[in-house]
Amino acid sequence: MRQYGTRTAYKKIKQVAPTYLGGIKNWELRRCRCCERATIFIAQQSGSGESSSCFFCSANDRYELLAEEIRNRYGSKLSQMSVLELDPCSPLRPLLGRARTYIRSFYEEDRKLKEKNGAVWEDIAELSFQDNFFDLIVSSEVLEHVPRLDCALQESARVLKVGGAHLFTVPPRSRTRKRAELSNGKITHLETPDYHMDPLCKEGILAFWDVGPDLADVVTCPGLNVRVVRGPEGSAGRVVWMAEKVAL
């Protein structure tokens, strides 16, 4: 309701309620590693970590992994950091909101709005921020949808301070490969089109990349040390990646 309004929330609940009720045997009572509250993780019939989410903050397994990594790696230092999150409404907002500077961003192709609900329009492949501005960038299920993944990593390197990092999750795959290309506004599919679910786009969002353990070998970016720092975890083998800026 906070994210999309009462009417949209009601329609969404009506649509998904049967699926979640059908998965009630997979519901789980435990403490959420994102909001740190005792909660019920409501699950769809599949019962996967991606479809199981905290009743209070809506975090699923990937957001829990990110929250753990942020707390363990930065702890009290977060209050002195400048942070960019490539998500206007993520469950990490209360945690990252402790930062000295916390900027949330969104991306829409038509770019009708420059600002929406306190978030600013940004393109990860062409950020508007100055060099060496951020200590931390956080994104979840974003980079696989960027046609020029190399440009996204280069922009991360440009706006991060030395020692800063881009923490991110992407759907785990066995290897890294380009699924589609964008040239002069035209998409050429190199693999069978793969559209990922998105609450703001009923058609879903096209994945331009599969990202696997060989990411650093396939997509290189000078100045970034790209590696897995948490996981794999769960049946899907979820991991948290870090692209850390190093001095050249």
Q: How far apart are CA 10 and CA 32, in angstroms?
A: 25
The tens digit of pLDDT for each residue in 150-196 reads 999 999 999 999 999 999 999 999 999 999 999 999 999 999 999 98
Q: How far apart are CA 150 and CA 42, in angstroms?
A: 37
The full set of domain ranges for the chain reads 61-245
- Show Cβ contacts of residue 226 under 8 Å, excluding neighbours closer than 6 positions: 153, 215, 216, 241, 242, 243, 244
Q: What is the pLDDT of residue 12?
A: 66
Please give the residue that has the higher pLDDT: either 199 or 64. Answer: 64
Q: How confident is the model at residue 24 (pLDDT cuts 50, 70, 90)?
A: confident
- Show Cβ contacts of residue 142 under 8 Å, excluding neighbours closer than 6 positions: 86, 87, 124, 168, 170
Most confident of 19-23, 107-111, 115-119, 240-244: 240-244
Residue 49 has pLDDT above 60, yes or no: no
Q: What is the mean pLDDT of residues 233-241?
A: 92
Task: Report the predicted TM-score, pTM, of the whole model to 2 decimal places.
Answer: 0.90
- CATH class of the 61-245 domain in this structure: alpha beta
Residue 199 has pLDDT above 60, yes or no: no
